[in-house]
Structure 1
Amino acid sequence: MSSRPRPGFLSLPRELRDTIYHHYLFEPEGYHFNLASGKLCASGNRPVNLALMRTCTAVAAEMHHLPLRTNVVHFSTSADPSESERTISARFAMLLEYFEQGRIAALTLSREPSLRPYQTPEVDAKLALKYPQFAPLLHWWSPESPRAYPSVATWAGIASIWGEPDSEFLAFQSYMIELLSTNADFLGALVESDLLHKLDDPRSSLYSPVVDEASQARREQMHSFLLDKEQKPRGERASFFRSVLSASKPEPWTIPSLEELVQMMANVNLSPSNPAHEAQRCLGLETPKYGQGHQWKCVKWRFSAAAAAAIHFFKSISRETCSAVRRVVLHEDRPSVGFPESHVLGLIPFCVQSPQLHIERRVNIWRVLLSPHSCQGTCLHAIANHIVSISENVEKFSSKICDRGCIALISESCCRWITEASGLSAKGMPAHSFSLVLDGDPAPDKSSELFERMKEAVAWQVAQAQAYPDQSPSLGFIATRSAWIYRCGVFPQAINDIVNGTSFISCNFPTGTLHDPRAVLNMNRHLVHRDARGRMSGRGWLIAFENHQKRHPMRFPPHLSFVDLAAEELLPEEHMPLIEGKPAQASNFA
């Protein structure tokens, strides 16, 4: 009598086994990536249960890659980064700042007479061919251009001014410097121009006005001193420009190890203690962007969720395993370093090789778009100094910040994320591989009010553009952007598509209806569009826009004050430095 095989799991139909695998592997909250360990875990930091895969070879083969196909993979910024992660991310942010300071200084100085010969028509032609969107800006950089808009030179290196993705403008900057640097004499002329420029800059400690023969003699003496090749200031600046302009710039979504970061700093002759201060010192500036001395040590620096996904996960797995991932959610719920809006560029290669992969990026508008890191003039140190030294009521101070420019702040910050996302397809992101969600938690009703401010900014931008119908392309490029109302060319249409539900960008709160720019235009028809010298002027629009913000102040809900959000980005009081001679207590930020 023949023996019949005993019934078991593998004798079940494959469709039924797949259903069992799915129920066994499925985690309602998906998998979460732990940056510290570099591993995936279940919710609550539980280990992923894969015991069934180890029962036999046949089951392991059938379940191969099913965990990643079954579950959404979540990446988040660290709520409380470790000391090592915080130190590396802070210094990496300052290293990126060091590179940017060099680019800004070089492009600002390129308008100086001694450097104009290097901005040849051939250089302009190559730049305009590769980056046509910035061709009007080149008109104001060219040697023949009159100084009709002196502030253009000051704003030359600031990406957000010109209404294009920051990553695109940084690439434009780098390409311009690359072309200028093909001339062997450019660096030497750049250093000399930098030093001589400071003699004419009233903000510089080297400023030397000429009012009589004696002051002229002192100026010539200073001129000779600065250009003496043996003098330390010239050597420092030469070293700064040579290292920054010639070194290979790291991608902003990189997460370097400590060893890699030390090597990056060595490549540009940087001290690892406080690179931001070092960069400012070499340029002769007085106040480092991230605070004097070591105040930057009190801030919770973090890497973005996109950077963690691109570097620490996808690069650590095989191409075959990568193709098994179906859905990734990037929770940008805390401010992070390294131009976070552009970090998703690092994920494009993985989306190209895995067409079934979809990346959803969720950006919290309260903790990211309204981050103190993004608010000009109200950085964390300024807030701490103000509260501790003046003892002003926290609620009053928070309201003052909101009243001062909430519309401009939220629209500018939102625009940077939207502009970068809108440019992904041109950089190779496959269709349907990416979506962006503006996350209004934990105050969706108040988030709708914030979005109303974005729609107001769009109406003002469109109205201002309609008010300049006869301007030439180059004049229009400068005039509209100099008013600080213009955000970017794609912003109005992007907001329109979000409201109509036809965009890959969405909100998890009601978006309402669009504002009519004709009402804004009619309200401002009295504005003069040209100044006394006949130049296009946006100052009238800027003043009107600021007055509009004052008449319609934005109030934070009690549980989401601006200062409370700022306090979340500071370390506990035992780590805080002395501010104005007093310890910064946590109670100051409650």
Structure 2
Amino acid sequence: MLALSKSTHLGRIMQQETYPLLSGKFAGLRYRTMVHTRISNLAMPERASFFTLSRELRDIIYEFYLIVESGYIFDYRSGKFIAVGGKPIDLALAYTCKAAATELRGLPLCLNTLHFFTSSSESNRSLLGRFGTLTRIQTSIQDKLLQAARPCIDTQILDHVQAVYPQMLPVMHAIQQGFKTPRSLKGGTWGEVPSLYRQFVANTLKLISKRPEYLRELSHTVLYWMDPVLDDFVNMDQPWALPQETYVSTMCRILQRHSTYPDYSKRVEYRLSAASVAMSFLESLQATHRRNLQNTKLQIERRVNLWRNVWPARADEVVSMMNVRPTILRIDQLDTLRAEHVSLSQLSPWIMEALALPSLGMPAQAFTLVLDGNPTPEATSRVFEIAQRDAEWQTASMEAFPPQNVDHGSAGWGNMVANHSYVMRGFPEAIRGITENTSPLISCNFEPARDDKEKHLRKVRPTWTRRDWNAKWYTHKPRSFATEPPLPSWLDLRF
């Protein structure tokens, strides 16, 4: 869930001590303690009207009239905001006269928290399913195109990366040295924030693809078929764009994929994220209106449920499993959460994407991510111990094999990132901040464990080789997790 609010203003109104003010329609209205005389006792003109009240009083009435319990909820299907229970929002007062409309302008959105929820529907299931599959194919091809650029990586390319994406310079050096993109469970981003890594790859490919020598190199690889569509490919829109049927058709043409998607994908419930739903609302506004949107006190709270969103969100794994023969497929593969998936492919991207926002221009204290462990917070704490254990393993393995000259792309850096114990850059510090409740951007509504498991690793790590760290990383205890009531099974959550 994504919630937008101007909480400083609303909080001030709610916390003030109050007295009764009006009767009838506004019987529940309260007024500040500074008012000692009831309105009914005031001397009023014979032809008194609403607008004979002071502007201060009218503003208080507007606030009482407009503030909706639990705020406004955006209904993606209708494209409108509604109140709790699907009730329409009452704005009739704004239509009584021009004066009221003028004074009410902008107040509904200023006074109420705006809620955006993850959305899914049968009407867009096929579109979202195909878009997700094509996006994964696109990112896989991007990685291979960057690997194919190895002979073309020269000083000019490295200087460009150093200037625009300095944290990605070790990646370029690793590619120069012949390292392959570490796939496994990390999503192929070399332990970097996925969105930043994809942006870096797309930008670098635009630069390299203009070189004639790159096209010659490409003709000798399995991606030779990309030559006629390379310009279209490197200029494809970013994957966060809301999918439209025309754009998905364009993706199919460029990627040379059939316009339909396999039958088994129809069993998966694809969803639009709350952030995408919020974007759809903003894009529905006229461009002139969007340019004038301004709220320096805006606060964004992104609340992600770990059980219903983060941990079951393995649609790619579900699809791959459904593609095997029925004799091979075992139902418990889909009806369990494997411990090795907790951090690497599921939790770490959510956490590290949030922590990257300030570097992208997000104002301080404007955004928070809440890891929601309801309705089983105790079970959440137990699963979260896996993430804590993985963070400690990353710290310990980096101390055991410290990379030398990271900025110059030493082989040690490539080996470190390729090791299974390396989750993501900054992940141990992020988990520590969540555990100790010191993170400025991320909080949780469950109680993380606070015992120190790293002491054991300090004792055993001197005797371990890199191969040992890789193999023993998978010795999680427990090895898997089931849901607990009142949650349904993982199988029901995934389909």
Smaller-chain TM-score bracket: 0.7 to 0.9
Any residues of structure 2 matched to 1:113-124 within 5 Å, and which? 116=151, 118-124=152-158
Distance 1:32 1:39 in 2: 8
Q: How far apart, in 2, do the equivalents of 1:438 and 1:74 lie? A: 17
Q: Is the 8 A contact 2:191 2:424 kept in 1?
A: yes
AA matched with 1:539: R
- Give the aligned partner of residue 472 of structure 2: 544
Say which SS state the counterpart of residue 441 (structure 1) adopts: coil
For 1:28 and 1:321, locate their aligned partners in 2 and report how far apart those are by CA, in whole Å. 27
> Which residue is equivalent to 2:445?
508
Q: Is the 8 A contact 1:415 1:487 kept in 2?
A: yes
Task: Report the equivalent of 1:564.
Answer: 489
Partner residue, 1:164: 192
1:47 matched residue in structure 2? 88
Displacement, 1:10?
2.4
Distance change in 2, residues 1:398/1:272 (3 Å): closer
Q: How far is the alpha carbon of 1:306 from its aligned partner?
A: 0.3
Alpha-carbon distance between aligned partners in 1 of 2:186 and 2:493, rounded to the nearest angstrom: 28
Paired residue for 2:237? 250
Q: Is the 8 A contact 1:38 1:313 kept in 2?
A: no
**What is the aligned partner in structure 2 of residue 368 from structure 1?**
309
- Shift of the alpha carbon at 1:159? 5.2
Amino acid at match of 1:555: F
Report how far residue 263 of structure 1 moved. Answer: 4.9
Structure-2 separation of matches of 1:321 and 1:192: 47
Tell me, what secondary structure is at the counterpart of 1:250? coil
Shift of 1:73: 0.7
CA displacement, residues 310-334 of structure 1 (integer Å, 9 cap, x when unaligned)? 23336515766887xxxxxxxxxxx
2:114 is the counterpart of 1:65: no
Are residue 99 (structure 1) and residue 138 (structure 2) matched?
A: yes
Q: Does 1:126 align with 2:126?
A: no
Quote the Cα distance in structure 1 between the aligned partners of 2:307 and 2:434: 19
User: Once the two structures are superposed, what CA deviation does each residue of 1:453-490 show, in whole Å capped at 9, x if it has no partner?
Assistant: 21111111111111124744223322222221112232
Q: Does the 8 Å contact 1:418/1:494 carry over to 2?
A: yes
- Which residue of the partner structure matches residue 127 of structure 2? 88
- How many angstroms does 1:509 deviate by? 1.2
Give 2:220's aligned residue. Answer: 192
Match of 1:451 among 378, 384, 398: 384
Which residue in 2 is equivalent to 1:343?
Answer: none
Secondary structure of the residue that 2:125 maps to in structure 1? helix
Residue 17 (structure 1) aligned with residue 6 (structure 2)? no
Per-residue CA deviation, residues 19-69 of structure 1 (Å, 9 max, x unaligned), is: 222222222121111112211111122211111222222222222111111
Aligned-partner residue type, residue 99 of structure 1: Q
Give the secondary structure class of the aligned counterpart of 1:525.
Answer: helix
1:68-101 per-position Cα deviation (integer Å, ceiling 9, x unaligned): 11211111112x4132x22222232233234223
Q: Give 1:554 deviation, angstroms.
A: 4.1
Q: Secondary structure at the match of 2:473?
A: helix
Partner Cα distance (1:390, 1:263) in 2 = 35
* Distance across 2 between alignment mates of 1:242 and 1:14: 60
Cα deviation, residue 273, structure 1: 2.3
Change (3 A) 1:543 1:494: same
Counterpart of 1:38 in structure 2 is: 79
Confirm or deny: 8 A CA contact 1:188 1:238 kept in the other structure.
no
Once residues 511 and 314 of structure 1 are traced to their aligned partners in structure 2, the CA distance between those partners, rounded to angstroms, is 39
CA RMSD of aligned residues (A): 3.2
- Greater RCO (Cα-Cα under 8 Å, separation 6 or more): 2
Does the 8 Å CA contact 1:108/1:157 hold for their aligned counterparts? no
1:312 aligned onto 2:281: yes
How many pairs align?
448
Compute the displacement of 1:435 (Å): 0.7
Shift of 1:506: 0.2
Q: Where in structure 1 are there 5+ consecutive unaligned residues?
A: 196-233, 275-292, 324-349, 529-537, 571-590
Taking the aligned partners of 1:265 and 1:391, their CA distance within structure 2 comes to 29
Residue 511 of structure 1, CA deviation: 2.1
Structure 2 distance, partners of 1:164, 1:492, is 13
Larger mean CA deviation between 478-487 and 510-519 belongs to 510-519
Structure 2: state its 5+ residue gaps. Answer: 1-43
Question: For residues 272 and 101 of structure 2, what CA distance do their matches in structure 1 show?
Answer: 35
Q: Quick one: distance in 1 between partners of 2:288 and 2:412?
A: 48
Q: CA deviation at 1:266?
A: 5.1
Partner deviation per Cα, 1:217-258 (whole Å, 9 max, x = no partner): xxxxxxxxxxxxxxxxx6x4544545423xx22222211433
Q: Which residue of 1 aligns with 2:375?
A: 442
Corresponding residue for 2:420? 484
**Residue identity in the other structure for 1:458:** A
Do the aligned partners of 1:31 and 1:42 also contact (CA within 8 Å) in 2?
yes
> Are residue 379 (structure 1) and residue 318 (structure 2) matched?
yes
CA shift in 2, pair 1:457/1:155, >3 Å: closer
How far has the Cα of 1:365 moved from its partner?
A: 0.9
1:355 aligned to 2:291? no
- Relative to 1, partners in 2 of residues 1:397 and 1:119: Cα closer, same or farther, differing over 3 Å? closer
The CA deviation string for residues 331-382 of structure 1, in whole angstroms up to 9 with x for no partner, is xxxxxxxxxxxxxxxxxxx7xx4322111111111122212426x7x42562
After superposition, give the CA deviation of every residue in 1:264-297 in whole Å (9 maximum; x if it has no partner).
55566654224xxxxxxxxxxxxxxxxxx43223
TM-score by length of 1: 0.68
CA separation in 2, counterparts of 1:499 and 1:154? 28
CA distance in 2, matches of 1:407, 1:356: 40
Shift of 1:166: 0.7
SS at match of 1:193: coil
User: Structure 2 length as normaliser, TM-score?
Assistant: 0.80
Cα deviations by residue, 1:497-518 (Å, 9 ceiling, x for unpaired): 2223222200011123263523
Cα deviations by residue, 1:117-160 (Å, 9 ceiling, x for unpaired): x2223323322332222222322322xx3x5x5xx256599755
Secondary structure, counterpart of 1:33 in structure 2: strand
Q: 1:95 to 1:384 in 2, by over 3 A?
A: closer
The offset of 1:416, in angstroms, is: 0.9
**Cα gap change, 1:166 to 1:469, in 2 (>3 Å):** closer
Q: Whole-Å Cα distance in 2 between the matches of residues 153 and 430 of structure 1?
A: 33
Q: CA deviation at 1:309?
A: 0.5
Aligned pair in 2 of structure 1 residues 256, 411: CA closer, same or farther (>3 Å)? closer
Identity %: 27
Secondary structure of the 1:163 match is coil
- The answer (yes or no) to whether the contact 1:131–1:172 under 8 Å persists in 2 is yes
Q: Which residue does 2:270 correspond to in 1?
A: 301
- In the other structure, the counterpart of 2:359 is 426
Matched residue SS, 2:212:
coil
Distance in 2 (CA, whole Å) between partners of 1:468 and 1:154 is 18
Q: Is the 8 A contact 1:457 1:485 kept in 2?
A: yes
Question: What is the rounded CA distance, in whole Å, between the counterparts of 1:310 and 1:355 in structure 2?
Answer: 19
